[in-house]
Amino acid sequence: MEPTLHTWADRLAATHVSMWLYMRPWAIATSQSIHIVMLSVVFGCAVVINLRLLGVNAGGRSLSTLVRTLVPWIYGSLLVLLATGVVQTVAEPVREFVAPAFWAKMAMVLMAVLLTACFARAVKRHHERWDSASSRPRSAVLIAVVSLVLWIAIIFCGRIIAYTWEFYA
């Protein structure tokens, strides 16, 4: 599997667009900066919603209000994160493709998005049930913990790529 990944990475690295980006560190830095701004929005929304599920700010706005307002922000930010992530991968394909942290991150992003979508759907459908802490499904606490761990691990993996990829290149 690994030689194939490396072959694909090399082919991508040989394209004009990849070389154009690679020669322009400011373009990569700009893309990374936008990436950090947008992941901040996602992380902020995830923290506020999930800590609300864990009982923080119990007297604040209802859970369904938070979900209705903030989950669309998560989706919107994820689109920009995908775009900037593609730019960074095209610019330095070997760095991303050989790093196990990159693939772990991609898998966890998929899981986190799925979890968020299912959770948001459930809250919208049965908002009376989810809005009061006493009638909320038991799984609420588990959902909150898994979601928070996933987002933290995603950010961890994203940054650790820079410090580990050379071990595998």
Partner 1 sequence: MTPHLILQALQNSALAAAIRGESEPIRLTYWLFPIIEIGHVLSIALVFGSVFMVDVRLLGLAERNSTVTQVSREILPYTWTAFGCAVLTGSLLFVSKAEQYVHNLQFQLKFLFMFLAGVNMLIFHRGVYRRVLDWDRALPPPTGARIAGALSIMLWIAVIFMGRWIGFTTNQ
Q: Is the CB of 64 or the CB of 89 nearer to partner 1?
A: 64
Task: Establish if 104 lies at the interface with partner 1 (CB under 8 A).
Answer: no
Output the smallest distance, CB 32 to partner 1, in A: 6
**Integer Cα distance of 92 and 41 in angstroms:** 25
Among the candidate windows 13-21, 61-69, 80-88, 122-130, which touches partner 1 by CB under 8 A?
Answer: 61-69
**Integer Cα distance of 52 and 119 in angstroms:** 14
Q: 77: Cβ–Cβ under 8 A, 6 or more apart, which residues?
A: 38, 39, 41, 42
CA atoms within 13 A on the CB side of 15: 14
33 vs 30, 36, 95, CA distance in Å? 5, 5, 18
Among the candidate windows 31-39, 103-111, 113-121, 136-144, which touches partner 1 by CB under 8 A?
Answer: 31-39
Q: Which of 14, 110, 163, 169 binds partner 1 (CB under 8 A)?
A: 163
Helix (H) or strand (E) holding 91: helix 63-91
Task: Establish if 36 lies at the interface with partner 1 (CB under 8 A).
Answer: yes
Output the smallest distance, CB 148 to partner 1, in A: 11
Task: Establish if 146 lies at the interface with partner 1 (CB under 8 A).
Answer: no
**Integer Cα distance of 155 and 105 in angstroms:** 8
Q: Is the CB of 12 or the CB of 39 nearer to partner 1?
A: 39
Query: How many CB atoms sit inside 10 A of residue 14's CB?
Result: 10
Q: Which of 11, 133, 159, 169 binds partner 1 (CB under 8 A)?
A: 159
**Integer Cα distance of 53 and 121 in angstroms:** 15
Binding site for partner 1 (CB under 8 A): 25, 29-30, 32-33, 36-37, 39-45, 47-48, 57, 60-61, 65, 69-70, 73, 152, 155-156, 159-160, 162-163
